């Protein structure tokens, strides 16, 4: 995902926008998820950890750690990371 696209999405979310329905429908699912603090090249960051379905780089049912978390929907329905959008399923932590 380009920095320009991420910036545009972030600005949309700040004004109450949400991902388009098609984009959300195509997003990988993350179940049994939780927010974690991890380290990346710039220091500490928040990520999500959970069981994924439909991820292009992971087998269905694998537990993954996402790229840094950029936005978490306040109703815990979706999340935007640095690299992609995720649909969140299951109870919020």
The answer to whether residue 92 scores a pLDDT higher than 70 is: no
Phi then psi for residue 7, to 5 deg, are -65, -45
CA distance 16 to 56: 28
User: Which residues pair with residue 88 across a beta bridge?
Assistant: 30
Q: Percent of the chain having pLDDT more than 70?
A: 96
Query: What integer best gives the mean pLDDT of the chain?
Result: 89
Q: How far is CA 77 from the centre of its chain?
A: 10
Q: What is the pLDDT of residues 59-77, one digit of tens each?
A: 999 999 999 999 999 999 9
Strands 43-53 and 85-89, bridge-based pairing = unpaired
Inter-residue contact 18 to 6 (CB < 8 Å): no
Helix (H) or strand (E) run with residue 22 in it: helix 21-26
Q: What is the pLDDT of residues 4-59, one digit of tens each?
A: 887 888 788 888 889 999 999 999 999 999 999 988 777 899 999 999 999 999 99
């Amino acid at each position: 995902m380009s920095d320009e696209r991420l910036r545009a999405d972030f600005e949309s979310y700040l004004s109450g926008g949400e991902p388009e329905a098609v984009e959300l429908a195509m997003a990988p699912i993350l179940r049994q998820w939780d927010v974690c603090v991890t380290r990346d090249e710039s220091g500490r960051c928040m990520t999500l950890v959970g069981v994924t379905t439909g991820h292009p780089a992971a087998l269905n049912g694998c537990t993954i750690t996402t790229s840094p978390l950029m936005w978490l929907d306040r109703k815990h329905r979706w999340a935007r990371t640095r690299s992609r959008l995720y649909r969140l399923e299951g109870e919020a932590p």
